[in-house]
Amino acid sequence: MIKEKNTYRIMISGGGTGGHIYPAIAIAHAWMEKHPESEILFVGAEGKMEMQKVPEAGYAIEGLPVAGLQRRLTLENLSFPFKLWDSINKARKLIKRFQPHAVVGVGGYASGPLLYVAQRKAIPTLIQEQNSYAGLTNKLLAKKAKAFCVAYDGMEKFFPENRIHFTGNPVRKDILNLSDKKEAALKHFGLDDDKPVILVLGGSLGARTINQAVLASMEYFEEKGYQLLWQTGRFYFEEMADKVENSGLKFIQALEFIKEMDLAYAAADMVISRAGALSVSELSLVGKPVIFVPSPNVAEDHQTKNAMACVNQEAALMLKDSEAVEGLAKKVDELMSDTDLQDRLGKNIKKMGKPNAAREIVEELEALIK
């Protein structure tokens, strides 16, 4: 542990999705709480959501022209080597200017060039892997990284076992205590306090299957007296909002993005969600009954593995993506009609939470610098 006061310079890189960005911001907040005299510089990918979300959280960010490889042959792939080379050169200049004590990578292709340059310059690097299946960038950088902070067992398949630290995933602090926020949450979203609230989350960009399943079930949900807070995601918002408006339903709220997630969680009696690593980690701390609908379109089907880690502990229910449109209403009824099951799922998922993840990652980072 570092005890003396000093101006530490930390670079944090990664992004592309909220699942990478929010853990990165949580790590930055935890570091600054402990070392407020420090400087932190984020590095992301130009045009991606981190370029907006990081400044909103109060940190400086530099963008690299790096882009991911498409799985199919496209014109974008032809420009990949040139963008990668430009990104490595810019990363080299950023590191020379900022002179970091350590560099943190949170996954996503944006972190590749920066950590590659840092490792070649013998600057200690820490990788934070959110998922049960390591991402390509993190696997490529694993050989020279000094520490790996993970959230799932069995990660020695990807990283050297003696450098793995089981910290869990860092999440935003405002969801750690929701017990006194219910009344404010219902008022904020204009919800009735005598009707159950279902929170639907498909990620910041949206989940087509979950949205189609809600569309197919929303009239039934309203008949049953349920209220829906439905984060449609950016890609689907206009279509879903139009359909809700044209339906004349009173208790279905289609929202593009929910910024006040602490209030959304506080309002919810149950949650329907994808099973990305950040979602699972947050819901483990929230302690509400959950139905996971894992995305099948991810590496090694890792969202199903994430969800099954909870199902096996009787901490959540799971509905296959292929069965969601037909089966969501029935699954919701199964949960809503069984208060014992709701209590059991809520208590068991809370046992899986790691509320001190960000603080533990900071301690590993301190050890690298020391």
Q: What is the DSSP string of 199-235?
A: EEE--SS--HHHHHHHHHHHHHHHHTT-EEEEE--TT
Q: Tell whether residue 353 is among the known ligand binding residues.
A: no
Q: Tell whether residue 177 is among the known ligand binding residues.
A: no
What b-and-e string marks burial along 25-58, b requiring 16 or more CB atoms within 10 Å of the CB? bbbbbbbbebbeebbbbbbbbbebbbbebbeebe
CATH architecture assignment, domain 174-351: 3-Layer(aba) Sandwich (3.40)
Q: Tell whether residue 128 is among the known ligand binding residues.
A: no
Q: Tell whether residue 204 is among the known ligand binding residues.
A: yes
pLDDT in tens, 117-128: 999 999 999 999
Domains 9-169+355-369 and 174-351 share a fold: yes
Q: Tell whether residue 303 is among the known ligand binding residues.
A: yes
Residue found under tokens 């014992």 = 340
Q: Tell whether residue 92 is among the known ligand binding residues.
A: no
pLDDT (0 to 100) of residue 254: 96
CATH code for the structural domain at 9-169+355-369: 3.40.50.2000
pLDDT (0 to 100) of residue 153: 87
pLDDT in tens, 8-59: 999 999 987 777 898 999 999 999 999 999 999 999 999 988 999 999 999 9
Q: Tell whether residue 316 is among the known ligand binding residues.
A: no
> What whole-number distance in Å separates Cα of residue 199 and Cα of residue 271?
5
Please report, for the chain, the start and end positions of each structural domain, with discontinuous segments joined by +: 9-169+355-369, 174-351
> What whole-number distance in Å separates Cα of residue 370 and Cα of residue 364?
10
- Residue 79: CB atoms within 10 A of its CB come to 13
